[in-house]
Structure 1
Amino acid sequence: MSFKHKKKFGQNFLTNQGEVLKQIMEVSGVEETDVILEIGPGEGALTELLLEASSKVNCVEIDRDLEKILIKKFDENPKFNLIMQDVLTVDFDKQIGEKVKVVANIPYYITSPIINKLIENRKYVDEIYIMVQKEVAERICAKSGKERSTLTLAVEYFGDAEYLFTIPKEFFQPVPKVDSAFMSIKLRKDNSRIEEIPEDTFFKYVKASFSNKRKNLINNISTLGIPKDIVREKLEQAEIDGKRRAETLSIDEFMNLIKVFEK
């Protein structure tokens, strides 16, 4: 059955499958007791390996043209569960309802919304292993430097990210403009950071700090309606130079900064 890739769904399927899929299975450490969530299974190359290694695979696919291909391949396998839906609209309580390990080559154009969706449903998601654009993986995993963003801090607030390996763009069809990377996010089982600083408060300061990447912390935090002289004073108390930019701060520095402002 021939299949035409669709640009609107960001479809780029692996052609050099053997080597990459073997690496994916190795680094994601799928065990026979794991229940898997695969987002965007495509024509099922990775799905096949996941079904062999785990106890159940929930595949979420938006493209109706792939439905027949996936059903023909896997419908007789009792471990296969196909959800034909946009992953961003999936109700985890009703449609997943159990702990899952995410292993997926996700649609790149909605990377951030997918990661946010998985984090929001962290009571069901422990570990995330995903293929994303190389520069996105570098940004999420960056410990310092201009790559850091609100997404970096969001991931750090809830868990730990790791850059695992690079996949050259030539390994895909159609060939995309950029290389890809496989990365992991292991969500924290405890709520230590949330107990320290509530989610809303944390993101209020983080978003303000990154509101204009060219401006320093004094200018950006003052957009919260705090006079600049008070912002300067609080940053001094937190032992942070107000001329620094948000991307230079570690998550621990952010946590300390917020505590000082919230006193």
Structure 2
Amino acid sequence: MSFKHKKKYGQNFLTDQDEVLDKIMEVSGVTSEDHIIEIGPGEGALTGLLLQEAAKVTCIEIDTDLEKILRKKYSTNEKFNLVMGDVLEVDINPLIEKKAKVVANIPYYITSPIINKIIDNRDKIDEMYVMVQKEVAERVCADSGKERSILTLAVEYYGEAEYLFTIPKEFFTPAPKVDSAFMSIKFYGDRRYENRISEELFFKYVKAAFSNKRKNIVNNLATLGYSKDEVREVIEQLNISGNERAENLTIEEFINLAEIFEKKKK
């Protein structure tokens, strides 16, 4: 009996594309030391390759119809661990004994919540390699320009993102409307930005700066209660133009901005 894909779970499985699966394995650099977390394993095409290389593979799957398929294929493999449930509700922390990597083709409709969930578990997860919609990967990995968003800065604050390769929509069943991309996020072991500025303060200024994409940095930062003259005075110290937009500021500039504004309050 063939498996019927469920739209509610955002199921788009890679068809028999050995080339793509091999490339995923190559760029994710899975070793015999690694504990891998795979979110949404589907029918287990990638799972089988992960089990060949890794020390342990923990799969988190929401669809009970896939449970039988996965258990039939892999339950005799002692490296295989299947956790049934919604990844956004599953407590990942106790599943990991030592540092882990995420390697997965994640459901696109909950991409941002999944990335946030993995970020929240960065004490136990060093790196993540995930397939997402192409435009999401472009946004997360953008160095400058209009693709940059709050999500870009949110990822940059915790780690380094890299766009790895593109996967055409025709490589999936059912075929989605857009192409996909495989990307990585490697979390900073030294917590370089977290040690400089608190999460709360950093995102206070980032969210304000992006509050209206059509407005410049002066107008947007003024929403925090500063006069436009005060904002201009601060950004001039950093050689930032008053007409600049948030998407063209680097993470360093955001941190410097926040530090100067907060000092002014004291």
Match of 2:42 in 1: 42
TM-score (norm 2): 0.96
Q: How does 1:211-230 map to 2 (within 5 A)?
A: 211-230=211-230
Deviates more, 1:153-162 or 1:229-238: 229-238
Q: Which residue of 2 aligns with 1:168?
A: 168
- TM-score, length-scaled by structure 1: 0.97
In the other structure, the counterpart of 1:137 is 137
3-state DSSP of counterpart to 2:112: helix
Residue 226 of structure 2 is aligned to residue 262 of structure 1: no
CA distance in 1, matches of 2:210, 2:194: 20
Residue pair 1:238, 1:260 contacting (<8 A) in 2 also: no
Q: Which amino acid aligns with 1:119?
A: I
Displacement of 1:251 after TM fit? 1.2
1:221 and 1:89 mapped to 2: Cα distance?
35
* SS of match in other structure, 1:192: coil
Measured in 1, the distance between the counterparts of 2:224 and 2:5 equals 45
How many Å separate the matches in 1 of 2:111 and 2:53?
A: 26
Alpha-carbon deviation of 1:236? 1.5
Shift of 1:110: 0.7
Rounded Cα–Cα distance in structure 1 between residues aligned with 2:254 and 2:86: 34
Q: How large is the Cα RMSD of the aligned pairs?
A: 1.0
Matched residues in 2 for 1:214 and 1:157: separation?
A: 24
After superposition, what is the alpha-carbon deviation per residue over 1:155-191, rounded to whole angstroms, capped at 9, x for unaligned? Answer: 1111111111110000000111100001111110011
Q: Tell me the amino acid that sits aligned with residue 255 of structure 1.
A: I
Task: Show the counterpart of 1:123.
Answer: 123
Give 2:181's aligned residue: 181
Q: Which runs of 4+ in 1 moved over 4 A?
A: none
Cα deviation, residue 97, structure 1: 4.2
Tell me the distance in 2 between the aligned counterparts of 1:231 and 1:9: 45
Partner of 1:107: 107
**Equivalences for residues 11-22 of structure 1 within 5 A:** 11-22=11-22
Secondary structure at 2:241 match in 1? coil
Cα distance in 2 for partners of 1:168, 1:112 equals 21
Cα distance in 2 for partners of 1:228, 1:167 equals 45
Aligned length: 263
Displacement, 1:227?
2.0
Deviates more, 1:182-191 or 1:249-258: 249-258
- Specify the SS of the correspondent of 1:253: helix
**% same residue:** 69
Long gaps (5+) in structure 1? none
Instruction: Provide the secondary structure at the position in 2 that maps to 1:98.
Output: coil
